[in-house]
Amino acid sequence: MSDCRILLVLAADRCYRWRGTLRPSVPYEPLTLGILAALVPPGLATSVVTVDEGAMPPVAPGPGYDVVGISCVASAAPRAYELADAFRALGSFVVLGGAHPTADPDGAAAHADTVVRGPAERSWPDLLTRLASGGPVPARYEIDAPGELSAPAPIRRSWRGRYLPVPTVFASRGCTNTCSFCTVSAHCSHRACSRPVGEVVEEVRALGSRRVVFLDPNIAADRGYALGLFEGLAELGVAWTGAATVDLAHDDALLASARASGCEGLLIGFESVSPESIAGIRKGRNDPSRYLDAVRRLHDEGISVLGCFVFGLDGDDAGVFDRTLEFIERARIDVPRFSVATPLPGSAMHASLRAEGRLVTDDLRRYDTFEPVFEPLHMTVDQLARGFRATAGRAYSWSASVARGRGVLSDRVLGLAVNGVFRRYYRASLSTR
């Protein structure tokens, strides 16, 4: 295949979709398309077009592309399959990858010429090289997750009007936890695949930005690696935010190193204020009785907290919504994020709920964490749906959003902006239901 023309698409779902300029679906730029574009072997493609359907108008299938690569999560799978079928009918070679094809490769295989499971840093260049030489291409690339995974800096598009103007970076993929509702750990065979520290530090240095956002599922999944990364970042004088588990707050050395490296905010998956719910999702490192102390310790270091909470777990009753809002106010969570417990295909939660006959739909479009797709144990489906909507509405009223934004320790302007983006995100996403 000569003069190869490549199209790369991040498929939309009901929440993650283009709503017009200056109306982002998510605050920060995802890296999937930029990294895939950077992984194209030199001299192989005459053009590489990238379309993030969450931040720009959707793709209209048409001729002219030799290879079409589509990445999707579960709720975007119907859209991805629609695109895949249309482009295959036009003669394009279609590749499906991302979280959902990794979890359900058989389902994806019905719509693609090749399915890539797990990280694409090695499989994607191999696939393109095989196509270019006319050689056979495997129908499926299985998960290839080495402990050290080198990756090029992504080819970045202009983010003006599409995302918050803070560049994104990643240092590691995967997660060592085995939370029952999550499929992230399976993406890298239940391990953390880390880039060389020097490679990450040099990419951050080259960006020339005064702050960056790390998109790692858990930047401290490998404690030794995290300490080395933080030491390298400390030399740059760059402020950064990322995601970590709550136990980082109780590790004195790791917490001090994170702050010294420029950490100004962490996304923490508290998941639930209910001990019974935490036990049910196999996230034993979370202890609700220590949450307040964890947030206090982070705040004492000048680190803001984006707290994530999941509703509808088996330990939740109808009082969980008020208890969560009370905790958010008492702990002074800087930015709260809410979701409905969603049994993603490929997760332990999905398997157990199917076995118990509690799933209420197999329509993947509804698996977007904004509505119940199973019967909760201690409340009705309607109670869960209404409680989630009411909680998001109360947490993101104008008065609550502004009050939280003004209280962000590291940067009040950024705090107001992020709270404003999440307010708009919840209002727009819930308005379609």
Name the residue ranges covered by the structural domains of the chain: 4-141, 168-431
Q: Do domains 4-141 and 168-431 have the same CATH topology?
A: no
Higher pLDDT, 185 or 264: 264
pLDDT digits (tens, 9 = 90+) for 205-259: 999 999 999 999 999 999 999 999 999 999 999 999 999 999 999 999 999 999 9
Say if CB 187 and CB 201 are below 8 A apart.
Answer: no
CA distance 361 to 353: 11
State the pTM of this model. 0.93
Nearest alpha-carbon partner for 165 in 176, 174, 156: 156
pLDDT at 430 over 80: no
Q: Rounded CA gap, 94 and 114, in Å?
A: 7
- For residue 106, the tally of other CB atoms under 10 A from its CB is 9
**Topology adopted by domain 4-141:** Rossmann fold (3.40.50)
Q: What is the pLDDT of residues 163-193, one digit of tens each?
A: 778 899 999 987 777 778 777 766 665 667 8
Instruction: Give the DSSP H/E element, type plus range, for residue 80.
Output: helix 77-89
Question: If one looks up domain 168-431 in CATH, what number appears?
Answer: 3.80.30.20
